[in-house]
Amino acid sequence: LLGLLQEKYREGVKCIYIDPPYNADATSILYKNEFRHSSWMSLIADRVLTSKNLLGQSGIFCATIDDYEYTNLQIILSVILGEENNLATVIIF
């Protein structure tokens, strides 16, 4: 689906918000939630890379994640979006 949006919305999106599988056992989410780390990282990296082309110059990319995959998500976002573009991490209890 993201691929279909590329031509029409390239660099025109102001905000992208993702809420990927947290990849943790303790959850009531109904989708697949038990990826191996490398499979999970590949899945997320593909989505982030495809989404990057949709963001405008001043666009913002937001993601929610728990501490189980936080470090891996940070690596992916730093590599694809640039470490210098990380504005903040917000912790929600």
Per-residue model confidence (pLDDT) at position 7: 86
Query: What is the rounded CA–CA span in Å between residue 84 and residue 63?
Result: 17
Looking at residue 28, its pLDDT comes to 56
Q: Which residues pair with 92 in a beta bridge?
A: none
What is the predicted pLDDT for the residue at 35?
64
Indicate the SS3 state at residue 66. coil
Contact 55/11 with Cβ under 8 angstroms?
yes
Tens digit of each residue's pLDDT, the chain (93 residues): 777 888 899 999 999 999 887 665 655 555 555 667 778 888 899 999 999 999 999 999 999 988 888 999 999 999 999 999 999 988 877
pLDDT of residue 90: 86
What's the confidence (pLDDT) of residue 84?
A: 93
H helices present in 1-93, as ranges = 2-9, 37-52, 70-77
